[in-house]
A and B are shown apart, each in its own frame.
Chain A
Amino acid sequence: MNEIIKNRHEFVVLFDVENGNPNGDPDAGNMPRIDAETGYGIVTDVCLKRKIRNYVEIVKEDSEGFKIYVKEGAILNNQHETAYKFLGLDPTNEKVAKENREPLRDFMCQNFFDIRAFGAVMTTKVNCGQVRGPVQINFARSIDPIVAQEVTITRMAVTTVKDAENKTNEMGRKHIVPYALYKTEGYISANIARKTTGFTQEDLELLFEAIVNMFEHDHSAARGKMAVRKLIVFKHDSELGNASSHKLFEIISITKKDGEKPARNYSDYQVQVDLSRVPEGVSVIEKL
């Protein structure tokens, strides 16, 4: 399990939202992100990575080798005895950082899951002072154009004493998408895993587990009902891969069963994986 991955992978994730806001747009007053020209909904790559990090943090509880570097919110200070390697270096200056770039990088990769998976930028004044991680995720886009609704809500309490003099409640706003199915693609480079970050088979399984469960621990008033519906993994026989990624992604077709009616449920869509079109040297694994 602890072997570094030897196969290139691609994956496709389908997730949906019901009466919620999957990813707010700070430019548009936190309305769901939308491509203004086409009306398709968008969820950014960083939004999904955040969910994956959070899941790993919950499940692994900062255990050794599975720490998360980019955290969210309050930190529960649970100190573990970490087997930090003692290098005995001088107080750092840039030159030392230059000479010790690799030990520093390896240390970060060994200890932090998110750096092993997604990479990180370190402040070393050298080119490639950044770690490129093997896992690459695209923006997710909805299958059909979305309609964002604005819902006005009231609260039977007011904020300040001054407000209390002339009103008894306050109005607020929520933005929701009644229903939308989103699709995103991801890529995992076995080369980068081998040469740079040491992303293992165990990490890979954890990543897929995190993707499947990424919304299970992310419920909030804003999100509504979100769920991952499908995770389809393409595993290549070789490190470099056996087929173009876009050709693999085309094997999955998603169609709305009734073109006239707006979709309101996952069952309104038909998802087909055309196994006859899978090229040689690639296997399809449906994780969900």
Chain B
Amino acid sequence: MGYGIRLKVYGDYACFTRPEMKVERVSYDVITPSAARGIIEAIYWKPAIRWVIDRIYVLNEIKFTNVRRNEVSQKISSSNIQAAMNDSSKELYQIAPEIRQQRASMLLKDVCYIIEAHFESTNQAGPEDTPEKHYNIALRRMRQGQCYHQPCLGTREFAANFELVDNEEIKGFYDGEKMDLGWMLWDIDFQNDMTPVFYRAFMEDGIIEVKDLLKAR
């Protein structure tokens, strides 16, 4: 059981794609615990620890906007790469206009969250992996704006700005309101063949309480 941190993340746009609407992407109303974990891991992560999201504070009003872009319809097939590796005369490329798909994305605008999280030790932790050590490295990185790669709000074109939050009073747009956000993705269980795990998200005063569902599994 590690110590808790509070990280403020914000940005102009975000897209936490609903798994049931992935082609023409539609974002969830708020950040998922899975995306929040990804943001923290972009700043600090080691195999010895596992970040667990405890609480999500939604500070700004939930607003959507729509963007349509030209995308490609295919991934790079490994068999094509294989063929090119074995036969140097084979050309390897994708012609974007020929496999073009125009897809709309329903994005969130102007988001700001505070993520409250702690880390647990995993079975890969050695004797040198003290909670204090990881906690201090994580704190130092968050304070100094250091990161492994710039964290993002759902997709990489929407970079997340992040700041460590001290114990200040958190006042958000949804203070005094209750909202049922429905059935949301909690995270992916990588231990069990990448099974998605869902939870029922309730927001009260702009705060979503998140349970660690991996422990219960």
Contact = CB atoms under 8 A, between A and B. Distances in A.
B102 A73 contact: no
Contacts of A26: 68-70, 102
A266 interface: no
Q: How large is the interface on B (under 10, 10 to 19, 20 to 34, 35 or more residues)?
A: 35 or more
A245 B78 contact: no
B150 A189 contact: yes
Interface in B127-166: 141, 144-150, 152, 156-159, 161-163
Contact of B95 (A71, A83, A87): A71
A79 B89 contact: yes
Contacts of B85: 84-87, 104, 107
Contacts of A89: 82, 86
Contacts of A187: 149-150, 159
A136 B150 contact: yes
B146 A241 contact: yes
Nearest to A89: B82
Contact of A36 (B13, B65, B148): B65
Contacts, number: 157
B93 A141 contact: no
B78 A104 contact: yes
Contacts of A44: 67, 69, 157
A138 B12 CA distance: 10
A124 to B, nearest CB: 5
A120 B76 contact: yes
Interface in B90-130: 91-97, 102, 104, 109
Contact residues of B: prevailing secondary structure: mixed
A35 interface: yes
Contacts of B88: 81-84
B157 A241 contact: no
Interface residues of A, number: 67
A157 interface: no
Given A123-B76, A240-B146, A86 B86 contact: yes
Contacts of B194: 127
Interface string A83-120: 11111110110001100100010011001000000001
B72 interface: yes
B102 A108 contact: no
Interface in A157-206: 185, 187, 189, 191-192
B213 interface: no
Contacts of B12: 138-139, 141
A107 B13 contact: no
Contacts of B183: none
A68 B68 CA distance: 24
Contact of B144 (A36, A73, A108, A244): A244
A75 interface: yes
B149 A132 contact: yes
Contacts of A46: 69-71, 157
A59 interface: no
Contacts of B147: 189, 240-241
B81 interface: yes
Nearest to A131: B76
A43 to B, nearest CB: 11
B81 A68 contact: no
Nearest to B102: A26
Contacts of A67: 92-93
A244 B89 contact: no
B195 interface: no
A246 B84 CA distance: 42
A222 interface: no
6 contacts: A91-B79, A100-B82, A122-B75, A242-B144, A244-B162, A245-B159
Top 3 closest pairs, chain A to chain B, by CB: A244-B145, A189-B149, A187-B150
Given A33-B67, A42-B67, 13 more contacts: A27-B66, A37-B65, A46-B69, A70-B72, A71-B95, A84-B87, A84-B88, A85-B85, A89-B86, A127-B190, A137-B157, A191-B148, A241-B146
